[in-house]
Amino acid sequence: MFKSPSLALRWATVLKQVCDTAIFLAAKEGDTMKSEEIRTLREMIETQFRFYVSTNANKDLSSKNWKKGSMLPLTEDVIKMNEFVVKEEKEWSKMLESDPSNLLYFRNLTEALLAHVILLNRKRSGEAQRITIEDYLREEEESGIQDIYQSLTVTEKVLVKTIKRFIIRGKKGRAVPVIFTKDMQRHTEILLNSRKFVACSNPYLFANPGTEDSFLWSYKVLKKIAIACGVTNIQAITATSLRKHIATIAQLISMEDNDLEQLSTHLGHEKATHLNYYRKTDDKLQIAKVSKLLLLMEKKSMGEYRGKSLETIDIEIPDLDDAEDHTSLNKNSDVNKKLLNTANWDENIDREDNCDNIQV
């Protein structure tokens, strides 16, 4: 058992790096005996660490992950936050445009835009909050194959003309794309024209007013927006959980490999990372699809359904009435659980408010 299995897994790399540095220093001093001893130690770490530490740490990490489960935001909460942020953007941009010298208007519009960027693009917190003005204003040369553009639908062509796309620095130095809608572009222009509260040396688009090189923190902004619009589970509203949410919901769409690769590129990670880490298996989806296939194999020959997709195949369920009764019972149980969770959550909020008051 490990308190932090992921940390234990990284120690092999750290120890080998320390050994390499020690070998270099010993060679500089001309101490051949010490160099050989350290090289032997490095070989032992290289060959034996996985048997003593890595294997058990991997098992412990996997066990903790599936026992803990995944806390993803509800789609209703994400939609509610999107609608709230769009409304806030329109209101604060109008106010700031009429009164550019108001600091409150400037900060609120900055927070609404930052939250909208994360909700729309599903970017990492660090990537979104560190977007610079130079990144936003950088003009991309028109490129692309004309045949590809001609093959797009009318809606897709309109999106290409109206959406602004620019590149920022992502994790591991990757080039990560970010998109702004037409309304977001207009609100950003208003924001850029009212930067009298920000030092000229501050390069960030979502700058913290009154600072020279600081930006607004994304996780604080997301939590503030989530509380303001009254989402069901505030703890699930994080940039990482939003990325996992879109990767999981995308399973409902029949995405081809190239579409999945485009989505992974936009999110700023590899396709394998998208499938193995971000995309979670939904219990209801797995029960519906896998049980349907297994029950189908019990009753009929699969040769009858050759070339058909699982979506187009239907099976007869003899106990459908009993299942509906059972579903209604489950719904009542779910309602009671939801009411109980809501009561507990309100109690926790009251406790947090009391703690905040004491701390202040």
Q: Could you tell me if 212 and 199 are in contact, meaning their C-beta atoms sit under 8 angstroms apart?
A: yes
The sign of the dihedral angle between the CA atoms of 72, 77, 78, 79 is: positive
How do residues 147-202 score in pLDDT, each as one tens digit?
677 778 888 888 888 889 899 998 888 888 899 999 999 999 999 999 888 888 89
Q: How far is CA 21 from CA 41, 49, 165, in A?
A: 13, 19, 43
The pLDDT assigned to 139 comes to: 74
Shared-domain flag, residues 64 and 82? no
The pLDDT assigned to 339 comes to: 41
Asked whether residue 208 is domain-assigned, the answer is: yes
**Does pLDDT of 68 surpass 90?**
no
Shared-domain flag, residues 97 and 155? yes
The sign of the dihedral angle between the CA atoms of 315, 317, 321, 323 is: negative
Using 50, 70 and 90 to split pLDDT, how confident is the model at 60? confident
The sign of the dihedral angle between the CA atoms of 180, 185, 187, 188 is: positive
Q: Could you tell me if 89 and 183 are in contact, meaning their C-beta atoms sit under 8 angstroms apart?
A: yes
Shared-domain flag, residues 270 and 176? yes
How do residues 27-46 score in pLDDT, each as one tens digit?
999 999 999 999 999 999 99
Asked whether residue 310 is domain-assigned, the answer is: no
Asked whether residue 286 is domain-assigned, the answer is: no
Top mean pLDDT of 64-68, 87-91, 291-295, 327-331 is at 87-91
Q: Tokens 């659980």 sit at which residue?
A: 337
Percent share of the chain, pLDDT over 70 = 74
Number of domains in the chain: 3
d(Cα 187, Cα 193) in Å, to the nearest integer?
10
d(Cα 28, Cα 32) in Å, to the nearest integer?
10
Neighbours of 170 (CB within 10 A): 19
Q: Could you tell me if 223 and 125 are in contact, meaning their C-beta atoms sit under 8 angstroms apart?
A: no
Written as one string, the DSSP assignment of 234-263 is GGG-SHHHHHHHHHHHGGGS---HHHHHHH
Shared-domain flag, residues 97 and 18? no
The pLDDT assigned to 217 comes to: 94
**Does pLDDT of 74 surpass 90?**
no
Asked whether residue 46 is domain-assigned, the answer is: yes
Taking phi over 0 as left and psi of -120 to 50 as alpha, with beta for the rest, 74 belongs to beta
Asked whether residue 183 is domain-assigned, the answer is: yes
Shared-domain flag, residues 133 and 262? yes
Shared-domain flag, residues 95 and 243? yes
Asked whether residue 306 is domain-assigned, the answer is: no
Asked whether residue 292 is domain-assigned, the answer is: no
Shared-domain flag, residues 36 and 120? no
d(Cα 84, Cα 82) in Å, to the nearest integer?
5
Shared-domain flag, residues 328 and 265? no
**CATH code of the domain containing 182:** 1.10.443
The H or E element containing residue 63 is: helix 55-68
Shared-domain flag, residues 55 and 81? no
Taking residues 96-100, report their average pLDDT.
92
Please state the pTM of the whole predicted model. 0.67
The residue with greater pLDDT, 70 or 84, is 84
Using 50, 70 and 90 to split pLDDT, how confident is the model at 143? low
Shared-domain flag, residues 197 and 63? no
Shared-domain flag, residues 224 and 271? yes
How do residues 280-339 score in pLDDT, each as one tens digit?
666 666 676 677 777 776 666 666 667 676 666 776 665 545 544 544 545 444 544 444
Tell me the angle at which helices 5-29 and 32-49 cross, rounded to the nearest 10 degrees: 160
How do residues 230-245 score in pLDDT, each as one tens digit?
888 888 899 988 888 8
Shared-domain flag, residues 87 and 226? yes
What is the extent of the structural domain holding 63?
Answer: 5-68
User: On the CB side of 16, how many CA atoms lie within 13 Å of its CA?
Assistant: 12
Q: Which of 20, 45, 68 represents a domain boundary (last residue)?
A: 68
End-to-end Cα distance, the chain: 40
Asked whether residue 18 is domain-assigned, the answer is: yes
Q: Which of 68, 103, 122 represents a domain boundary (last residue)?
A: 68
Q: Which of 42, 68, 94 represents a domain boundary (last residue)?
A: 68
d(Cα 141, Cα 144) in Å, to the nearest integer?
10
